[in-house]
């Protein structure tokens, strides 16, 4: 894994990732995220061409109304760290874990070069360390006994949990703890939910449940699944997390593996 960790990140980035501009409306940014599935949008100053910051799915969700007059420059976040094109994977990963940021911009002379994402790491491992991933089992890398939500939980409750724990998605299970779906920030954006739906104590919140927004068709793994098998839907379908169930019969949720868990393989020096 030494050679993988010392590869420069510039060779990994997907240059086709979408961007936004400082004068784009929030509605425009929401549409870009909804149609492309982007987790984060680098924002470029329309006048200078300089990089301004990042707007992610969570930022889009907290805007209080789809009719807001806000533009990108009014909500864009400056990041605590930027990457240079020559930085190596291992060094970039350490910064990601240190600052708890899973998409970091590559900047040179204030100009945006590309977005380095934790998904780039997963794809790189998938393509360059297949045999090694096939030797590792999910049970040794998964987060055990993950937080699970009910189909009947109100969307407002789940949103607060996502914000508190910085989770982008949660498994959904029935009263027997059987996996029945997954709910993610992207699900909420696709269905058109915004902050007003999460904070209001009347109207839509009373009738809007997780089951109204969740994804019912969910790919899952088993404790004995290899990390290679787990990484396939992450790479092929850009899934951020894979629930782990006890068996095909009861499908009890006993763990979850996300992209960060796979990336830790490099950090750990495996």
Q: Examine the domain organization and report whether 149 and 208 are in the same domain.
A: yes
The span from the CA of 28 to the CA of 59, in Å, is: 13
Give the distance from CA 111 to its chain's centroid.
Answer: 25
Going by the DSSP 8-state scheme, the letter that residue 12 receives in this structure is T
Residues 142 and 260 in one domain: yes
Q: How many domains does the chain have?
A: 2
Q: Which of 69, 94, 127 is the last residue of a domain?
A: 127
β-strand partners of 221? 244
Residues 148 and 56 placed together within one structural domain of the fold: no
Answer with the one of 105, 127, 149 that is the final residue of a domain: 127
**DSSP-based three-state secondary structure for 212:** helix
Are residues 113 and 229 both part of a single domain?
no
Rounded Cα distance between 209 and 258, Å, is 25
User: Are 88 and 25 found together in one domain?
Assistant: yes
Task: Using pLDDT thresholds of 50, 70 and 90, give the confidence band for residue 205.
Answer: very low
Averaged pLDDT score across all residues of the chain: 88
pLDDT band with cut points at 50, 70 and 90 for residue 164: confident
Residues 176 and 88 in one domain: no
Q: Tell me: do 178 and 196 sit in the same domain.
A: yes
CA dihedral 260, 264, 267, 268 (to 10 degrees): 160
Assign residue 18 the CATH number of its domain: 3.10.580.10
Q: Are residues 122 and 158 in the same domain?
A: no
* Residue 55 burial class via C-beta count within 10 angstroms: exposed 0-12, middle 13-18, buried 19 and up: buried
User: In the listed set 127, 161, 185, which residue is the last one of a domain according to the structure?
Assistant: 127
Domain co-membership, 140 together with 259: yes
* pLDDT value at 41 more than 80: yes
The boundaries of the domain holding residue 113 are: 2-127
pTM listed for this prediction: 0.87
Question: 138 with 248, same domain?
Answer: yes
156 & 211 share domain: yes
Question: pLDDT tens, 170-180?
Answer: 999 999 889 99
pLDDT band at 38; cut points 50, 70, 90: very high
Q: What is the pLDDT of residues 110-140, one digit of tens each?
A: 999 999 999 999 999 999 999 999 999 999 9
Are 16 and 103 contained in the same domain? Answer: yes
| E-strand stretches of 118-175 | 143-144, 169-173
E-state strands within 130-263: 143-144, 169-173, 179-184, 241-245, 253-258
């Amino acid at each position: 894994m030494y050679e993988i960790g010392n590869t420069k990140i510039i060779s990994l980035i997907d240059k086709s990732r979408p961007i936004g501009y400082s004068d784009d409306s929030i509605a425009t940014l929401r549409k870009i995220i909804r149609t492309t599935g982007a987790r984060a949008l680098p924002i470029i100053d329309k006048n200078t061409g300089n990089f301004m910051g990042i707007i992610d799915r969570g930022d889009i969700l907290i805007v209080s109304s789809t009719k807001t007059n806000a533009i990108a420059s009014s909500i864009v976040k400056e990041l605590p760290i930027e990457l240079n094109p020559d930085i190596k994977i291992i060094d970039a990963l350490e910064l990601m874990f240190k600052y708890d940021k899973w998409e970091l911009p590559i900047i040179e002379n204030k100009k945006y070069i590309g977005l380095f994402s934790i998904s780039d790491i997963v794809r790189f491992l998938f393509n360059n360390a297949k045999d090694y991933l096939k030797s590792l089992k999910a049970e040794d890398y998964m987060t055990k006994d993950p937080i699970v939500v009910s189909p009947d939980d109100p969307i407002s409750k789940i949103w607060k949990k996502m914000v508190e724990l910085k989770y982008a998605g949660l498994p959904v299970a029935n009263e027997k703890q059987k996996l029945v779906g997954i709910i993610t920030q992207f699900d909420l954006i696709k269905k058109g939910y915004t902050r007003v739906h999460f904070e209001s104590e009347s109207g839509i919140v009373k009738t809007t449940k997780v089951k109204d927004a969740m994804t019912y068709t969910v790919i899952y793994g088993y404790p004995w699944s290899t990390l290679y098998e787990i990484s396939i839907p992450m790479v092929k379908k850009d899934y951020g997390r894979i629930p782990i169930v006890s068996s095909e019969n009861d499908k009890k949720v006993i763990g979850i593996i996300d992209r960060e868990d796979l990336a830790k393989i490099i950090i750990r020096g495996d």
